[in-house]
Amino acid sequence: MLTALLLPVVPALAGQAVFAGGSFWVMEALFDGRPGIEKVEPGWMQGESRLQRRQVVRVHYRDDILTYGDLLRLYWQAVDAHDAGGQHCDRGIEFSPALFVDGPLQLKWARQSRSRLRLERGRRLDVRIFSVSRFVPAAARHQQYYRRHGLLYYAYRRVCGYPDGSRFSLQPLLAEAD
């Protein structure tokens, strides 16, 4: 009985995924609070130079509940995969869509999901796939922006043209056809 008290508590399995899809405020609101998602951090993924950075969210999720594929499904519903110049009113490389993969398994999922979507839509997608590099957290004023400044966030999202994401689902898209 004493040995049971001395054993450490094993934490739940955790995965991380990094997504760029325009404003990190919008991406944070998209992923935050969904079942299996533990934490969403807005920030920048830094490239070789300051000019190559993109706004991203780093999603910490329970991989005993969700797969990276589930997160990709949600991501593809939210981004304009045909706009390499940014998303909605946010223009420039900082706002362009990209997947940042960590390891061969995420790379395989990302490539397969992008290829499948390309076949379904019958046209090229402008979402790049990169290896994860240095993540720089956004300043505190950007964290949980959609919650702390709800009215301003709503106005920004609406005027800019971002969908609200309420109809986006982590459920398999094919399950909806049954």
- pLDDT tens for each residue of 135-150: 999 999 999 999 999 9
Q: Domain of residue 51: give its range.
A: 13-169
Is 178 within the bounds of a domain?
no
Continuous H helices in the chain: 2-6, 24-31, 68-78, 104-121, 145-148, 150-160
Is 176 within the bounds of a domain?
no
pLDDT at 2 > cutoff 50: no
DSSP conformation class of 172 = -
Do the bridges between strand 37-46 and strand 98-101 make them parallel or antiparallel, or are there none, so unpaired? unpaired
Note the pLDDT of residue 164. 78
Is 124 within the bounds of a domain?
yes
Nearest to 77 by CA among 139, 2, 163, 156: 163
Contact, 61 vs 37, CB < 8 A? yes
